[in-house]
Structure 1
């Protein structure tokens, strides 16, 4: 396919005979930020890293020390050109709508990957290229594995390490995860799960499956998707997303095992990568805002003192930004309580709640447009969220229990997993009242089991060493 994009500016030739590492991620904040952390670690460890990413992340990518290559086409502009027309569904439509987006962006992702791989081969023809791909951005690699025309200079698809930073969507005979508020059942009925998968393929997932197949054919791919699933594809009807999971030499789920259901039929390339550790978020020029001194002074007080307020942080992430869903009712539920200090982060630079609250901002509440999660979580007693995987991981890394309430994207599935893991109070997928959020916070603050479990998960995450695991699995592909 013909494609056009900015010219890649390359660095002086690297004399190392180690492979070049091409990192790639979907052009969304929640999909890019974890890969930036991994990239920075690999750069600091001396690897030669190029990063194929969204143009809006150009500066952030180069700040890691990696060389930037831009995504081209719809995979880069989807928030403007796709979301405005389609958007994400709710309830049973959530998963199919996300898979429709992945299908729609597949041709441009393949174009972007082929262009980047060709540029690197032209630059250093004698060096191998290994791809580290965030799963949502792996459609192009899946297409190459299924027979799409290879990039110029390649006789076979490059080796790849998949990185999944959302709840896994692998179709399992043990649990049919539809990203709904269906609890995991250890006494699962495999025959029922197989039947549900068949009905889903023929029903709610049919359009996404057929669209993905059509997108692959547009890329000159005629090998069936099922060929990526091996014998497992004969056991159960897979979803289209599964090809992004199965197409790698190794796929890492970036969480600790205790945060995921005990599935017996993961694909053979699957392993847990661990929960990413807290980031080194403070730059040399970072200046704390004046309000943060209130937080520091509060944290300095004895934890048993009645003068020390409990700190409750609230955030909804960067995509689900209707603050009436979680942030505003949570503020209302905790309004003016003398025992609690609320810090609400809008996650959008320049954003405000002006005109959206029914009255004045409560005196115990601080609202900020944008602020590093880790800086707040270090001081938080509870974190209220709609279920962003990034916030979820940050809280595990810091040992902070959560109140979860989400009904978009993967948020419902995160609520169920937080409840399953025992460190979160899950309010479910329905719109919640201020009283419900207050009840969730009070339950966590009065029942020590949530904090105890959060600290156990923190210890497990530290022992797992996620960044070390990623590097070890990457080197296994050399």
Structure 2
């Protein structure tokens, strides 16, 4: 019997993309272990409570509270918006949990047959990296990495992940990309050393590639959960890296419509505004300016707060409706444009529905997401997380007026529809589970010969 481990750091936006995969595998007779924090168990309830599913909880530093990131990691909170965040976040959030993640992976492998176990992990879960770098321990039949953010793998012609810079393949553009990459790598050296030290402490014999490259290099197969139309053109990708699109989410089973829902159903145009579920405490960053900017619009404006209560001091114009939360599959069929802070999950959900966007985000990966929307022609990137009222108004009016944005968004929607990521992942699981190298115990044999990595 093939067993699959779904591993994610304890942040909802990182676990949620894995859940359709888990459901599909359980329905097809696979045993599935979800490896994340106990706090997120309710999100995976239909998987872990099924006869073939279970939860293996992360412990210690690996079980941080992903719903309170800014409180859990004040250094990240205090880091100014911009590329410094892609230096500080690994240092504070993503590298320290590796030992506990590694131990949890070993515990799961010891509880069954490693030779028929495949580990599927989202890119920010690094608990399999030590094994691939030669650390002693049980090794599964294979590891599949999933890109739940934009593709972070560097290309010599493109700006590095973190700056949110537009690609420019001219000679000056490539020189600028190289300068940005050199600058980032110099400043990243202490974090890379931190990563090396943590991995060496677990017995790794090879050094990891550059941290943000490791997401797609330190796995047997890497599936980027987005289509080519949402990524930059690249000279080439490693053979084991593939863009497969994103699995769809199940339809909302029960929807308690708010009293004003008929206004949405009958409106000619609806502008949906959200600041997502992460870093959304300050509604004045985007929701407030958007409500003010569109107060005189003939469109109906609907704003949600990512599950947080609607602020009592919020000024709500006559043409606006506000609510704590709305399921995307309920509001998107009526949405003309999405105004968002650029969370990758929400942006992808909109594009899967063919909805153009106005994006205003400057924290985490949001500048990179926003620039990809701009580059794809599917929306407008305001290039700030604190847009002014005129900028929001002009951007929304332009997207509503210019049909090219919706046309391009619908083109990307068609790319999603043309792909079957669940079938592709299942096929790869089957291939790995039948591999003759499955389950061998690592004892100082890393992947330096494959990737040309330096030994220690």
TM-score, normalized by the shorter chain, greater than 0.5? yes
Query: Aligned partners of 1:116 and 1:261: how far apart in 2?
Result: 37
Cα contact 2:114–2:140 (8 A) shared by 1? no
Instruction: For residue 113 of structure 1, report the CA deviation from its aligned partner.
Output: 1.6
Gaps of 5+ in 1: 1-16, 227-238, 299-307
**Could you tell me how far apart the structure 1 residues matched to 2:387 and 2:175 are?**
35
Contact 1:255 1:276 in 2 (8 A): no
- What SS does the aligned partner of 2:196 have? helix
Contact preservation (8 Å) 2:363, 2:385? no
Matched, 1:288 2:257: yes
Confirm whether residue 164 of structure 1 aligns to residue 147 of structure 2. Answer: yes
User: Structure 1 92/45 Cα, relative in aligned 2: closer, same or farther at 3 Å?
Assistant: same
Indicate the residue corresponding to 1:352 in structure 2: 310
- Structure 1 distance, partners of 2:205, 2:74, is 29
Alignment partner of 2:135 out of 130, 135, 148: 148
Answer whether contact 2:276 2:305 (CA < 8 A) is retained: yes
Alignment partner, residue 440 of structure 2: none
Name the structure, 1 or 2, with higher relative contact order (CA <8 Å, separation 6+): 2
> Are the equivalent residues in 2 in contact too, given 1:20–1:128 (CA < 8 A)?
yes
Assess if the C-alpha contact under 8 Å between 2:271 and 2:301 holds in 1. yes
2:193 matched to 1:201? no
Distance 1:190 1:330 in 2: 36
SS of the residue 1:160 aligns to: strand
Mark the CA change 1:192 to 1:450 in structure 2 (over 3 Å): closer, same or farther: closer
**Hey, what's the Cα distance between the residues in 2 that align with 1:69 and 1:99?**
24
Match of 2:444 in 1: none
Contact conserved, 1:149 with 1:220, CA < 8 A, in 2?
yes
Secondary structure of residue in 2 paired with 1:413: helix
Pick from 131, 138, 160: which aligns with 1:177? Answer: 160
Q: Which moved more, 1:401-410 or 1:320-329?
A: 320-329
Partner of 1:234: none
Instruction: Tell which deviates more after alignment, 417-426 or 61-70.
Output: 61-70
Match of 2:87 in 1: 96
Cα distance in 1, alignment partners of residues 353 and 305 from structure 2: 21
Deviation at 1:272? 0.5
Aligned counterparts, 1:298-309, within 5 A: 298=267, 308=268
Deviations 1:394-427 (A, max 9, x none): 1111000000010000100011100111111111
> Compared with structure 1, are the counterparts of its residues 31 and 430 closer, same or farther at alpha carbon in structure 2 (3 Å cutoff)?
closer
Counterpart among 187, 206, 216 of residue 245 in structure 1: 216
Mark the CA change 1:366 to 1:214 in structure 2 (over 3 Å): closer, same or farther.
same
SS of aligned partner of 2:75: coil
TM-score by length of 1: 0.83
Cα pair 1:145 1:157 within 8 Å, conserved:
no
Q: 312, 318, 327: which is aligned to 2:271?
A: 312
Matched residues in 1 for 2:431 and 2:390: separation?
51
**TM-score, structure 2 normalization:** 0.87
- Find the residue that maps to 2:211 and give its secondary structure: coil
| Residues 430, 288 of structure 1: alpha-carbon distance in 2 compared, 3 angstrom cutoff | closer
- Whether the 8 Å contact between 1:423 and 1:451 is mirrored in structure 2 is yes
3-state DSSP class of the match of 2:338?
Answer: strand
- Please state if 1:32 is matched with 2:15: yes
Q: Supply the RMSD in Å over aligned alpha carbons.
A: 2.1
Q: How does 1:380-395 map to 2 (within 5 A)?
A: 380-395=335-350
1:327 is the counterpart of 2:287: yes
1:109 aligned onto 2:68: no
Distance 1:259 1:410 in 2: 14
Q: Note if contact 2:159-2:165 (Cα within 8 Å) is conserved in structure 1.
A: no
Residues 20-58 of structure 1: per-residue CA shift (max 9 Å, x gap): 011111111111111112212222233221111122211
Q: CA deviation at 1:192?
A: 6.1
Q: Which residue of 2 aligns with 1:85?
A: 74
CA contact (8 A) 1:275 1:396 kept: no
In structure 2, the residue corresponding to 1:174 is in which secondary structure?
coil
- Contact 2:159-2:166 within 8 A present in 1 as well: no
In 2, the alpha carbon distance for the partners of 1:32 and 1:164 equals: 12
- Runs of 5+ consecutive residues of structure 2 not aligned to the other structure: 434-456
Match of 1:375 in 2: 330
Distance 1:214 1:126, change over 3 A: closer
> Could you say which residue in structure 2 is the equivalent of 1:128?
116
Instruction: Evaluate the alpha carbon distance shift between residue 421 and residue 441 of structure 1 in structure 2; reply closer, same or farther with a 3 A threshold.
Output: same
Query: 1:229 aligns to what?
Result: none
